[in-house]
Chains A and B, each alone.
Chain A
Amino acid sequence: MLAVKLAFKNLIGAGLRTWLTAAVLSFAFVVTVFYNGLLDGWNLQARNDTQAWEIGGGQFWHPQYDRFDPFSLQDAHAGLSLEVQRLVEQKKLAPLLITQATAYSGGRMINVLLKGIDADQRILRLPTSCFKTDSVEIPAFIGRRMAAAMGLKPGDALLVRWRDQHGVFDAREVTIVQIFTANVPSIDNGQIWLALDRLQDMTGLHNQATLLVAATDHQTPIELSGWIFRPPSFLLKEFEEIIRSKKVGSSIIYGLLLAIALLAIFDTQVLSIFRRRREIGTYMAMGMTRSQVIGLFTLEGGAHSILALLLALVYGFPLLRWLALHGIGLPEVADAVGMTMGEKLIPVYSAGMVLFAVALVVVSTTLVSYLPARRIAGLKPTEALRGKVQ
């Protein structure tokens, strides 16, 4: 208690220097929380959106399916067993048939994927009910990005060409009945969605699918004969690695800020130990042990972090809360990034992340305070009392 009281009195007594250091430290803390919150928020938002729009509770892949190799699609399909059909009827699985195709729009030839999905599925948020129309022969929907890239709008017809199960080319006009907006580019760019039964007819792959999307809220058996289960952690691995690398990048920014603040604290500590030798000698003469004096100076330096946290609470808490409520709007060009990203990024501040930031600031501050304070251990009380530099 004595050390705490003395440390804070000395700190406050130092005036502006203390507050400047605390301000930089608090800024580093707020930026740390903000950046991590932003990336965590992005991660959460992307995970939720990707699960809602694309992967559900995981996917069962045909063994030959490789999402990075379009040529694998030719053979990556299998018939739906009775068990799978039962689960589809129970809305626990949504089969998807995928095939390569070429779309001709505005005189351009564009490689696309035709994706067939059940019109009655409820697992993904895709607007599959729009397939239930008799007004057009082959109804299709596409995403906003795809529509923008190809200059399409609802009601437009689009010629597509594909190979059937025997490798024979066929071509038909599909009609765009709806354009959906989703934050997930991987279901949007270069993809045309058709009704599953229609695509099966077009390709001759009756009752067949490339993959099965599992429902998030249903207990789906993990083992389905002839299919390989890919959990969300597998399907989101690349995205999470990107987030992780972004975190490393952002840590450089707040690391620099933290380093500036820590340098100021280190400097203050070195200066304190240099200038306050007589005070150190007095403590020793009054009966403090060297370790107690080291503890006192370490605490004094470390107390910067407490002031910084209090300061951060004053301006950082309202600011971060406001951002969490209103989000950060992203410019239109963010769509071109090709990653799952909403119109707004909503930072998410988890207790663990905030505690990490607090621990980072407190521990690093205490450490840089301790390093110069260690020199007190080698200080003779008699020399210290004379204010002599050793």
Chain B
Amino acid sequence: MAFDLKGNQAGCLCFRAWTFFITAAAFMENKQIIDINNLVKRFPIGDGYFTALQGITLRFVAGEFAGLVGPSGSGKTTLLNLIGSLDSPSEGSVVVLGHEVSRLSHRESAALRNYHIGFIFQTYNLLPVFSVYDNVEFPLLLQKRDAVGRRKAVMEALDWVGLSHKAQSRPAQLSGGECQRVSIARAMVKRPELVLADEPSANLDAKNSHHIIQTMKRLNRELGTTFLFATHDEKVMGYLDRIISLDDGRVARDERPLCVNEAQSDSTAEENGHARRQARI
């Protein structure tokens, strides 16, 4: 299902103030961060093909806190990978920050990810031999930033996630929640326009899941970074401003639950998630 930007502009007035300023400004400027048109993704299986995504048309603007939800095999991760230019479409187009993903060379794709896209993984994917500081510094080293700038940015990023005091710890010495916070800091340290999070709370308990999502929500609010999740975690859904439900590789629904309650707090988001779970039961 395509999401009509213009049609939703009026509804955005009910966004929270911060969301309004960032998202509305982007709407006003028509700052589309992702533009997906008639996307089809097929994978070869034996002699035939498996169609993972079919006819996807979606647009995202800067500052969104959106999620791709759906059961396993619905195509969430595949879509996230295509947006992250880790894969290329079989048909249709995916334009990220003005770059048509299928036309990018390997080097250009790498540069797009290096400078503009942050990734958060379910399994954290931290480098075990590096300290927390080194892990967070890694993307900046790839950008060849100067040492002073790197140090400032790393400490700032660790500050955002509340792990400044664990800068010299190794990932093995951290809890799962702390590892995921390091992963967030690593994704955010380069101040990307877009962060793609693939099941970020799947390996965490409820308390840590809320903490992680709240951290990302705060960064989205304060820095205006666009967050796009692939999740089937009800707890995460409670925080999303926009939920795109995928079913069997197609967009089943595209809704903005937070628009109905402008003053919704983090605790309300938790309740939202709880209510959703109860409803499902």
Contact = CB atoms under 8 A, between A and B. Distances in A.
Interface of A: 1-2, 5-6, 9-10, 12-13, 278-279, 281-282, 284-290, 292, 380-382, 385
A336 to B, nearest CB: 58
A9 B84 CA distance: 29
A12 to B, nearest CB: 8
Contacts of B134: 5
The 8 closest A-B pairs by CB, nearest first: A287-B114, A9-B129, A13-B129, A282-B125, A2-B141, A381-B86, A289-B110, A287-B113
A278 B119 CA distance: 13
Category for how many chain B residues contact A:
20 to 34
A380 B87 contact: yes
B130 A286 contact: no
Given A2-B142, A287-B142, A13 B111 contact: no
Given A6-B127, A285-B119, A288-B142, A382 B86 contact: yes
A103 to B, nearest CB: 77
16 contacts: A6-B129, A9-B130, A278-B123, A279-B125, A281-B125, A282-B119, A282-B127, A284-B86, A284-B113, A285-B113, A286-B119, A287-B143, A289-B110, A290-B106, A380-B87, A382-B86
Contacts of A279: 125, 127
Contacts of B114: 286-288
Contact of A286 (B81, B129, B138): B138
Interface centre among A13, A281, A286, A289 (most CB of B within 10 A): A286
A282 B121 contact: yes
A372 B150 CA distance: 33
Given A13-B129, A282-B121, A287-B139, 17 more contacts: A1-B141, A2-B138, A2-B142, A5-B134, A6-B127, A9-B129, A281-B125, A282-B125, A282-B127, A284-B86, A285-B113, A286-B114, A286-B186, A287-B111, A290-B106, A382-B87, A385-B125
A5 to B, nearest CB: 8
A289 B105 CA distance: 10
B207 interface: no
B85 to A, nearest CB: 9
B73 interface: no
B107 interface: yes
B110 A13 contact: no
Given A2-B142, A381-B86, A385-B121, A289 B107 contact: yes
Contacts of B128: 13
Nearest to A380: B87
B87 A286 contact: no
Interface in B98-149: 106-107, 110-111, 113-115, 119, 121, 123, 125, 127-130, 134, 138-139, 141-143
A142 B141 CA distance: 76
The residue in B84, B87, B129 that gathers the most chain A C-beta atoms within 10 A of its C-beta is: B129
B82 to A, nearest CB: 9
B216 to A, nearest CB: 17
Nearest to A289: B110
Contacts of A6: 127, 129-130
A45 to B, nearest CB: 49
